Chain A
Amino acid sequence: MIQYAAILLMMIGLYGLLTNRNVVKIIVSLNILEIGLNIFIISIGFVYDGIAPIITSTNNSSALVFVDPLPQALVLTAIVIGVGTTALGLAIVKSIYAKYKTLEIDEVEEN
């Protein structure tokens, strides 16, 4: 079920990317798309009735059902990359504003 929510978020992000003409809103849409993907990745590792994949004194049997820890590790990397891209995107937005004094794509002409 959570995967539907993730895909819905991704669709909202894509819709935002395709319809917005403001560079900041485009960055926000990109982030929504990324968050949707991150939730999707997390959902891949979900196991019904699974416990946290940490071996403790009480949870030390291989017969126990653990959730898949790998997607959690992957999503951490994806989040870091997403933050880096967003930071760079915002820096470029700043230079767009400094050069053209607007954040609307339609008002900028780069020939």
Chain B
Amino acid sequence: MSAVLLIAIPLLAAFLSILSKKLAPVLLLLVTAANIVLLFFVPSGIVVIGGFDLPYGINLFFDTYAKISLLVVNSLFLVVTLLNISEHKKMSSILLVSLAGLNGLLLTGDLFNLFVFLEVAGIAAYLITTTNKKPLSTFNYLVIGSVGSIFYLFGLMILYGMFGTLNLMDMVYAIKNSSVAYSSLLLPFFFMFVGLGVEAKLLPFNAWVKGILKHSNTLSGPMIASVYAATISFVFGRLITNLFQFEGKLLLVVTVLLIAGVVIGEAMAFASTKAREILLFSSISQACITILLFVNGIIIWAVYLVIANALSKLVLYLVVNKAAKQTESDDVEALQGLFVKNILVGIAFTVAALSVMGLPLFVGFVVKLNYLTNLALMDQFIVVALILIASIVEGIYFVRLLVKLWFKGNNEIDVKFDVSYKLVFAVVTLLIVVFGTYTKPLENFDNGIDTVQDQIEVIYNG
């Protein structure tokens, strides 16, 4: 079994699905499920494609980091697809292309290939957001996303001009062993960071997010805010950890940008009165914290934060989008009393929200406690203080939202949630609580899950 199949099968299925529209949804579900099973049979290591050895050919890199990220992304993808397939059958082929693109992003060891997968996944994302029926927002997303990709490619080409390679490992090795001053790398690194920052929703490159997530539905909301966000965070993490290795003034600029993103995101969420807006601004803030952790080398807790957020945001967006569709408004006032008749859904939403806030008993608390401890050990006290202040703001607006949704208002609202939704909510809630109270499995991994540096040692130094 080769890791190539994780990309090739969805891509082949995407072409086949065009031939039979009736079979397309079945094919999508089968392929997504098969991908998850396949993950357990793929051996770790470098996959050379076309017989061209590294660094001449494109290669895929499958290590623990890739395995965890693929497992999370493919599982979430399957859940979102299962819940929406009956309503969005026409999107089957696009979702298959999207799956191929996302898996490619997580697997590739070639930086130009990463650009290609970024565009493949991006084009699929633009098409997924057309289901929002807000073409101008989709257009904005397409333009900003394309400019981001162009910036990434521009930065990469400057690096290629300097080091003559596109392979991630070869590039890292070449940079380490060259006499090129770090200041010469600032420009390409900055362009690549901005390019990926667009998809990762980092401030100030996230102008598209509001239009897309504000009008999202049960497919586009969880897909963009949970599946895509997790994928881009993992990709960003890989590049920050191995390639960028920010230092000096660039580290300061990036840290300030990210901290500003955390604070402004929470402030915007606090000021908002619409449920989807609150969630989207909260997503921006959480994305900035994740990247901040990667920048500081706290890899494992950044990975856990990505997973915890992806799980929580899946529930939060599904509940809000389902309710907004039936009530035709996502105004918090209009959704008042949503959980009066949906107690189980309310419990799942509350657990997910409390986990994002970082309250004890939930996985979000374990993650937050550990990353704050790590940051404090690195003497990043200002960062810790600002995250804590942002957490208080986050706590206030989430509690305010929960109070509104739990207590009956003037209008009675009755939103029906399918059994499949309730099942997903129950499983996610269980995961959040179990890993929030039983933390031993989380200790099985450490910052060594990313093995790019080890592979470089093996390849170049024997």
Contact = CB atoms under 8 A, between A and B. Distances in A.
Contacts of B136: 23, 96, 100, 105, 108, 110
12 contacts: A26-B143, A30-B146, A30-B147, A34-B146, A34-B150, A40-B154, A70-B160, A81-B149, A89-B142, A99-B135, A110-B136, A110-B137
Given A37-B150, A84-B123, A77 B116 contact: yes
Interface string A94-109: 0110011000010010
B154 A37 contact: yes
Contact of B116 (A81, A95, A100): A81
Contacts of A8: none
B157 A41 contact: yes
Interface in B196-236: 211, 215
A30 B134 CA distance: 21
Nearest to A34: B150
A23 B139 contact: yes
B150 A88 contact: no
Contacts of B134: 110
B452 to A, nearest CB: 22
A17 B211 contact: no
A89 B123 CA distance: 10
B131 interface: no
Interface string A8-32: 0010001001000001001000100
A93 interface: yes
A74 B161 contact: no
A65 interface: no
Given A37-B150, A71-B160, 19 more contacts: A23-B136, A26-B143, A34-B150, A37-B153, A40-B154, A41-B153, A44-B160, A74-B166, A78-B115, A81-B119, A89-B143, A92-B126, A92-B130, A92-B142, A96-B135, A105-B136, A110-B134, A110-B137, A110-B215
A78 B153 contact: yes
Contacts of A100: 136
Interface of A: 10, 14, 17, 23, 26, 30, 33-34, 37, 40-41, 44, 70-71, 74, 77-78, 81, 84-85, 88-89, 92-93, 95-96, 99-100, 105, 108, 110
A41 B211 CA distance: 33
Q: Nearest 5 pairs between A and B by C-beta?
A: A95-B135, A96-B135, A44-B161, A81-B119, A92-B139
Contacts of B154: 10, 37, 40
B30 to A, nearest CB: 27
B82 interface: no
Contacts of A78: 115, 153
- Chain A residues touching B, majority SS: helix
B215 to A, nearest CB: 7
- Chain B residues touching A, majority SS: helix
B138 interface: yes
A26 B141 CA distance: 13
Contact of A30 (B127, B135, B143, B153): B143
Contact of B139 (A37, A74, A89): A89
Contacts of B157: 37, 40-41, 44, 71
Contacts of A95: 130, 135
Interface in B125-172: 126-127, 130, 134-139, 142-143, 146-147, 149-150, 153-154, 157, 160-161, 166
A88 B135 contact: no
Given A41-B157, A44-B160, A71-B160, A93 B119 contact: no
Given A88-B126, A92-B135, A92-B142, A33 B119 contact: no
Contacts of B137: 110
B244 interface: no
B142 A85 contact: yes
B68 to A, nearest CB: 29
Contact of A88 (B142, B147, B166): B142
B146 A93 contact: no
